[in-house]
Amino acid sequence: MSRNEAVIIRSVLTMSLHTPTAAIIEKPFGTLADGRGVDLYLLTNDNGMQASITTYGGIIVSLTAPDRNGVFADVVLGFDNLDDYLAGHPYLGAVIGRYANRIGKGTFTLDDQTYDLARNNSGNHLHGGIAGFDKALWSARPRSRPEGPQLRLTCVSADGEEGYPGRLDVTVDYTLTHENELRIDYRATTDKPTHVNLTNHSYFNLSGPGGRDILSHEMLVNADHFTPVDEGLIPTGEIREVEGTPMDFRTPHAIGTRIEDDDEQLQFGDGYDHNWILNKPDTDPSFAARVFDPTTGRVMEVVTSEPGVQLYSGNFLDGSLTGKEGKAYGRRCALCLETQHFPDSPNRPEFPTTMLRPDDVHETTSIYRFLAR
């Protein structure tokens, strides 16, 4: 039996500190063109919530959450097989790095030296470049934790990869807690000064992927300010109040309420594709955003140690991608909440720094918590 055809579960790790429902199951997911095998790990917590994660791109392939009646459904977009991921996709569920979001003109200067990065977005650098972390094959280590099953992923980005200076050693821990949270802990170290900004790029639809659009989802964002962008979606450097703009989600309302407003920022993004500056007292993880689907009662809360979050309303999905269960992914059928530092921070000294030096450690935490009402 070939690796692509294999359906035999190779290992089951039952969590020793909780009921037998908590487990990690590993199975083959396919093979890359160079012959390297890709695996898929299924994490299950004590409540029956599940997350499946593949070593290709660190991608969250599926994530289930209960509705108000306790019925579980998959709430992220993705594909049923590796080949569809390899054919190209808009970062569905992937780990993003070295730098999440955009760097203007694909260049920055660090310690008086200018670095030219891969330009893959209208002359700008986007989401780590042509072959970012979303295309890396990560090493995996399943672990038993008191909070729930955990998958530790590691990779090494070589000095000069995609134009970045320094070797970067990266660890991403996915923990599916018994509190129905998907916790993501990022850690990175370098041997040369560099810039780092890591996130996850899952597309969420709390009614189930490929179903209704997300315009009726109600959103709250804990932010008084956002970073306006130019036509290339690069921050202008201005810090603007959300009050009086379509970016004001301080009071929860449906995402579709203002998305078609005649607003320059919405025109630039063809909808929401912007960074909000979170109201944070410090760098500890704190509340960032909440999404509620009135139809199913599912709620997703986002907690993060990062200073910003990017809301992307799936504006460029056009139905050309066929996802899980043969569902076409159409315009605004999902949303992303990418916890992050601000776009183009390497070129904006007034923004919180993304610089990482050899004596420092880059560590951030983001939590996606699922409830129902």
| pLDDT attached to residue 22 | 82
Q: What is the pLDDT confidence band of residue 371, given thresholds at 50, 70 and 90?
A: very high
Residue 286 has pLDDT above 70, yes or no: yes
Question: Which whole number is the average pLDDT over 151-169?
Answer: 98
Residue 282's Cβ-count burial label (10 Å; 0-12, 13-18, 19+) is exposed
Burial class (CB in 10 A: 0-12, 13-18, 19+), 258: middle
User: How many residues can be counted in the chain?
Assistant: 373
pLDDT of residue 210: 63
pLDDT of residue 209: 72
Candidates 125, 195, 338, 362; catalytic one: 338
Q: Residue 175 — very low, low, confident or very high, per pLDDT cuts 50/70/90? A: very high
Q: Does residue 201 carry a catalytic annotation?
A: yes
pLDDT score of 119: 97
pLDDT value at 8 more than 90: no
CATH topology for 95-372 is: Beta-galactosidase; Chain A, domain 5 (2.70.98)
Mean pLDDT over 207-236 rounds to 94
More confident residue, 18 or 371: 371
Biggest CA–CA distance in the chain, Å, is 61
Q: How confident is the model at residue 366 (pLDDT cuts 50, 70, 90)?
A: very high
Q: In the structure encoding, which two tokens stand for residue 316, read together?
A: 């460029």
Catalytic residue (one of 89, 125, 178, 201): 201
How would DSSP label each residue in 32-43? -TTS-EEEEEEE
Q: Which helix (H) or strand (E) holds 269?
A: helix 264-269
27-79 pLDDT tens trace: 999 999 999 999 999 999 999 999 999 999 999 999 999 999 999 999 999 99
pLDDT at 7: 28
Residue 5 has pLDDT above 80, yes or no: no
* Other CB atoms within 10 Å distance of the CB of residue 159: 13
pLDDT at 21 over 80: no
217 is an active site residue = no
Tell me, what's the pLDDT at 211?
65
Please report the pLDDT score of residue 181 as a whole number.
98
CA 100 – CA 105 distance, rounded (Å): 15
Compute the distance between CA of residue 282 and CA of residue 222 in angstroms, rounded to an integer: 14
**For range 81-100, the mean pLDDT:** 97
Average pLDDT of the chain is 93
Handedness of CA 273, 278, 283, 288 (dihedral sign): negative
- Per residue in 294-348, pLDDT (tens digit) is 999 999 999 999 999 999 999 999 999 999 989 999 999 999 999 999 999 999 9
